[in-house]
Amino acid sequence: MKNDLFHYTSCGLRNVYLRNGFRVKETPYGRAVSIENVEGLHRAIGLRIARNKKRLSGAEVRFLRKELDMSQATLADCLDIGETTIRNWESGRIKTTGPGDRMIRILYLEYATDNSKVRELVDRLAEANRVMHTKTLEFMETKQGWREAA
């Protein structure tokens, strides 16, 4: 570790280095690093990315989307664009558009700063996407009639 900095690549970004907040341990399998308060670290990274003036890179779009707990399909639906566009942004094949870039930032900033309405909306979108992509549908008969099984 150069100059006691830890190059934190597990978040999917290549330019993140930690000065502290981590522990290095030697194990029988080699060196292991544990990060203290990963959620707080990711929030700090996300806020820095969302507040930065330059256009989002593909890796940054992916990072913010994952922090929002959204699939590519859900984010595409939210932005009213194709899922392929999200994939292309994240892979770096095409650059984000101005409106898409701004909306991702706004969503993340509101979500990360505890705007409960936006947080609830994002959580509901993620849940709806999980339900939409469920392969099996289960139902049960109750006294009130047939209903989806929980």
pLDDT in tens, 23-75: 999 999 999 999 999 999 999 999 999 999 999 999 999 999 999 988 999 89
- The CA distance from 2 to 58, in Å, is 27
What pTM was computed for the model?
0.79
CATH code, 37-130? 1.10.260.40
Q: Estimate the crossing angle of helix 116-132 against helix 98-112, to 10 degrees.
A: 110
pLDDT-derived band at 132 (thresholds 50, 70, 90) equals low
CATH 1.10.260.40 in the chain is located at: 37-130
pLDDT-derived band at 3 (thresholds 50, 70, 90) equals low
